Chain A
Amino acid sequence: MNNEEIAVTVTRGASIGRAVDMFEARARVDGTLGFALNAELPHMTFARLLRSPTPHARIASIDVSRAEAMPGVVAVLTAADFDKDGAPLRHYGAVIRDQPVVCGTKVRFAGDVVAAVAAETEEIAAAALLAIDVEYEDLPVVAELDDALAEGAALVHEQPPPSEARSYADINLFGRQGNVFTKFQLRTGDLDAGFAMADHIVDTTYVSPAVQHVPMEPHVVLASFEGSRLTVISSTQGPYPVRDTLAEMFRIPTSSVRVIVPPLGGGYGSKTYAKFEPVTAALAWKARRPVKLVLSREEEFLAITKHAARIRLRTGVMNDGRLVARDVQVHFNAGAYADISPRLIKNGGYSCVGPYDIPNVRVDSYAVYTNRPPAGAYRGYGVSQAAWAYEQQMDDIAELLGMDPVELRKRNLLQEGSRFATGEIIHGARWAELLERSAAAIDWPKDRTVRVDERRVRGKGVAVILKSTITPSTSNASVRLDADGSLQVLTSSVEMGQGAHTVLAQLAAQPLGLPVSAVNVTAPDTQYTPYDQTTSSSRTTRAMGGAVTHAVGVVRERLLALAGELLEVDPQDLELADGAVSLRGAPDTRVSVQDVLYRTRTGSISGDGEIKTVGGLDPETGQGIASDHWHQGAAGVEVEVDLGTGKVYVTHVHTVAYAGTVVNPKLAKLQLHGSMFFGMGHALYEEMVFDDGILTNPNLSDYSIVSMGDVPPVIQVEFLEDEGEAHIHGLGETTLPPVIAAIGNAVRAAIGVPVTRLPITPERVLEAMTA
């Protein structure tokens, strides 16, 4: 089966397509929800982490004896506790096992964990950190891409380990050299011929900084051992990946590790894969007591970041606007550990082609180790860096050719049946329509550049993007209809504020004719809830929603069969609505769902469902199937720029996403609002600033995130939907990348020159204008 056939279709009805309020919304806001932060266990101890103050150094010595002797200190964990008989392994990683739970011979970023303490109180744990003596011998710091890529650069990892034997089907390591630990490449067509044919070649380099996710809830882990069985309550987006990592680290069967995930207070990618579960579990193992770790805001900044990236695009274009060749060089600053970079640099690599039909393409995308905090998944997943580059360059090209930027894009957009650079044939291409909607919303091309007064100019910009989802991937669901007419949905998809559990309940309720309120969606618990690859990549509503739909279908069939026996009619002629089974066309011949189960002495009806997409890319040519479906989004933006200060004021943002069928319009709209504000933050305000590898702004005074006061006067979000029975398209991240690029293009229209480095600070605007 191909992915089109694997994906389920749904139809708007009693619950699908309805603006159902998010489950537990009030408790989420007033803090009474059972967040991991609120979890406690008897005899629980409190963890604190000792972090390296220096970005790159050998650990000459470490002495924890004073800390261990302190009253109230339960355990102090160092490298010496690992890698021996009966002890856990010291290294872990989603793809490459390169990250130490606690550092042994050297530290690789300022913030790397060198020891961990469990104590009776947080205060004692904090005091114990001060009693640990570590001697460092500084090594040359390679924190920036150029330093790490230089000839003879110091190596962040002298001998990085090979890929995990059982990692992910879509990831292949390739091209390791120096601090480059993997690369992705794509080759299609004949690049030289394409450039030879081109009337113009535009060559531009774009830079994006590292930014942080800043979820309201920090990383929280509560770990406890019962014999050799490990239970972890964690604020993770990936219960199963965490389970697998812990099982491997402690060399125990996966069934001996139980990961429970309460609702999260935001994740945005920062909580994918094992993060602080290994160190907390190792402390619990050593302490023989439950251990709870809660990161501070400052530590959150050191946990994981969006990749800083430098993207060079050389694009060959004809006088009529046709793009004929593109040569892409992407360098992602991955920080000290690989985390999920091997996948991200792949997606961020081929995404640089954009939603365009370019026949001759070469992409080289590199993951580079540096002495910075590790970079990993971030809402948008490499695409916001890519779109920032290629959509800015589209406006460069338009200006060069004297062509309208919307028109230039439309001449090149992928169409139904187009062949994307990966070789896959595009179905359901809606980019042109999305672009037109965003352009129309900002009244394009009227007044694209306007002088408001002597101090202000106004500009408009658009952007349109393509984004993938993890492919191949797997999601399983189980559902159980109980005799009281309630439905239990067992899923390992994480509710992190995005409304996943509400939407899954809507998808489950409709085929069974149940009210949404009759559906309970369980919190992930790997001991009971079936496998899900991860809650990320905008995949839950489509992938897990599909698995739930299949599972409900199984239950429906059995329920109707029982009802058919009871009513002595053909089950084919029965329908389900309002909690009852009735004969189609004869509504008086009916029986309630409860009565079907009661009268047939059925205790419960269970069903399983699965979505397993297919695909993957060849690591050397980038040919294959990159995504089971393409996320398509566009944005239109109006800004005003103060010519005296250089400050950009966003006055209007419109975003639109191709949604197939929107399951919950209210929550979908909020998702797009979230993407919009994240996009504004990345475009204008957010940047982790490093001074020789040391982060200078790890707090919310010096690191600036969007607040209510920054919401533009006019914000609009829209969905492009299909009529009737249709697929569900992922929405979580689709409109974040185009907002960044559209803001850039609007600024460019206002001031007449591009700013190629994010964020577009007032100072950079003035510099661009005077350059």
Chain B
Amino acid sequence: MRLSRPTSMDEALGLLAEDGEDCTVISGGTAVMLMIRNGFLDPNHLLSLDRLPDLDHMVAEDGQVRLGARASLLAVERSASVRTALPTLADALTLVANHRVRRQATIGGVVCEADYASDPPSILMTLGARVRLASVRGERTVPLSEFLLDYYTNAAEPDEIAVEVEVPRPSPTARTTYIKYVSRTSEDRPCVGVAAYVDTDAAGRCLDVRVAVAGATATPFSLPEVTADVRGKPADPTAWKEIADAFRDTIRPISDIRGSAAYRKHVTGELVFRALENASMAGTDGAIKL
């Protein structure tokens, strides 16, 4: 296996353009190294981003927060500007794996891995995040909802590197929340995770409601038509129950050691309700682990 550690983006993109399909990009390595070790991945060429300058930036701008692909989860979690702008994301990262993993894993790696049992993608999805991709052909930006295609599959072309995750700031009147539900021990991955975004008007009516469920399906599960349906209705348990029931009835979850499909359906309904309830209460931005 060839290991290359380019020192400039041009060099990295050039190498990737040459080797394309046979090349795997490695960032923090928490996922790639496990896959190689377990024989799921056997790349001819491992292209490491570790010597690239400037890919670990975290910039809070007026409309959005830009996170360099190589920013570690720990750095994002501890950045004061990210925490102010995106409190739920920063808070949720504290619940991912353990300190050692978070110090190593990167935000770009998390979105590119497209792991169904990962917490951040569902939160990023409710925030409307986009992934900026670069290649020798130029750059493009893809909404995360279109970037995540299937289990461990993303929409990047073989010659593209994800260089940045752009996260729009939530509306100033919006509340966000994430519930990470682990059905086993505290360091387990989510059985079901629910990210919610609730924006209401001054009269307490729903303006913009978004929900994404992690851990239960190939990619974060959402029902945009259902959540759009409550627009204009009072932000109250009746609306939340309507949404929660729709999620429970519609989702086709996987069955694994963390819970059967039937159980995950039940828990999805339960937790979508709780996440919306949390998000509709003033001052409850943030993430909790159950």
Q: A residues touching B (Cβ–Cβ < 8 Å)? A: 642, 644-645, 647, 681, 684-685, 689, 696-697, 699, 701-702, 704-710, 761-763, 766
Given A642-B290, A645-B290, A647-B290, check contact A763 B257 (CB 8 Å).
Answer: no
Residue B266 CB within 8 A of the other chain: yes
B183→A707 contact, CB < 8 A: no
B181 CB contact (under 8 Å) in A645, A708, A766: A645
B270→A644 contact, CB < 8 A: yes
Inside 8 A of A706's CB, which chain B residues have their CB?
185
A762→B183 contact, CB < 8 A: yes
- Of the listed stretches B4-12, B126-134, B186-194, name the one at the interface; the rest are far from the partner chain: B186-194
Residue B260 CB within 8 A of the other chain: yes
* A-B contact sample (17 more), CB < 8 A, given A681-B185, A762-B267: A644-B270, A645-B181, A645-B270, A647-B181, A684-B184, A701-B189, A706-B185, A708-B186, A709-B186, A709-B187, A710-B186, A761-B184, A762-B183, A763-B183, A763-B259, A763-B263, A766-B263
B264-290 Cβ-contact flags toward A at 8 Å (1 or 0):
001100110010000000000000001
Inside 8 A of A645's CB, which chain B residues have their CB?
181, 183, 267, 270-271, 290
B185 CB contact (under 8 Å) in A642, A685, A763, A766: A685
Inside 8 A of A642's CB, which chain B residues have their CB?
290
A705 CB contact (under 8 Å) in B185, B259, B290: B185
Inside 8 A of B38's CB, which chain A residues have their CB?
699
Closest to B187 in A: A707
B225-266 at interface with A (beta carbon < 8 Å): 257, 259-260, 263, 266
CA distance A702 to B189 in the complex (A): 9
Task: Name the distance in Å between A332's Cβ and chain B's nearest Cβ.
Answer: 24
A704→B188 contact, CB < 8 A: yes
CA distance A645 to B263 in the complex (A): 9
B185→A707 contact, CB < 8 A: yes
B186→A707 contact, CB < 8 A: yes
A766→B266 contact, CB < 8 A: yes
B259→A697 contact, CB < 8 A: no
Given A763-B263, A766-B266, check contact A702 B257 (CB 8 Å).
Answer: yes
Inside 8 A of B185's CB, which chain A residues have their CB?
681, 685, 704-707, 709-710
Complex A-B: 23 CB contacts under 8 Å: A642-B290, A645-B181, A645-B270, A645-B290, A647-B181, A647-B183, A685-B184, A685-B185, A699-B38, A701-B189, A702-B257, A704-B188, A706-B185, A707-B98, A709-B185, A709-B186, A710-B185, A710-B186, A761-B183, A762-B183, A762-B267, A763-B259, A763-B263
Closest to B267 in A: A645
Inside 8 A of A685's CB, which chain B residues have their CB?
184-185
Inside 8 A of B263's CB, which chain A residues have their CB?
762-763, 766
Closest to B183 in A: A762
Closest to B188 in A: A704
Task: Name the distance in Å between A264's Cβ and chain B's nearest Cβ.
Answer: 24
Closest to A763 in B: B263
CA distance A760 to B98 in the complex (A): 25
Closest to B270 in A: A644
Inside 8 A of A710's CB, which chain B residues have their CB?
185-186
CA distance A763 to B263 in the complex (A): 6
Closest to A296 in B: B37
Closest to A762 in B: B183
Closest to B95 in A: A709
CA distance A644 to B263 in the complex (A): 11
Task: Name the distance in Å between A213's Cβ and chain B's nearest Cβ.
Answer: 16
Inside 8 A of B266's CB, which chain A residues have their CB?
766
Task: Name the distance in Å between B188's Cβ and chain A's nearest Cβ.
Answer: 5
CA distance A697 to B257 in the complex (A): 8
Task: Name the distance in Å between A7's Cβ and chain B's nearest Cβ.
Answer: 39
Inside 8 A of B271's CB, which chain A residues have their CB?
644-645
Closest to B264 in A: A763
Closest to A697 in B: B257
Inside 8 A of B98's CB, which chain A residues have their CB?
707
B61-92 Cβ-contact flags toward A at 8 Å (1 or 0):
00000000000000000000000000000000
Task: Name the distance in Å between A317's Cβ and chain B's nearest Cβ.
Answer: 36
Closest to A708 in B: B186
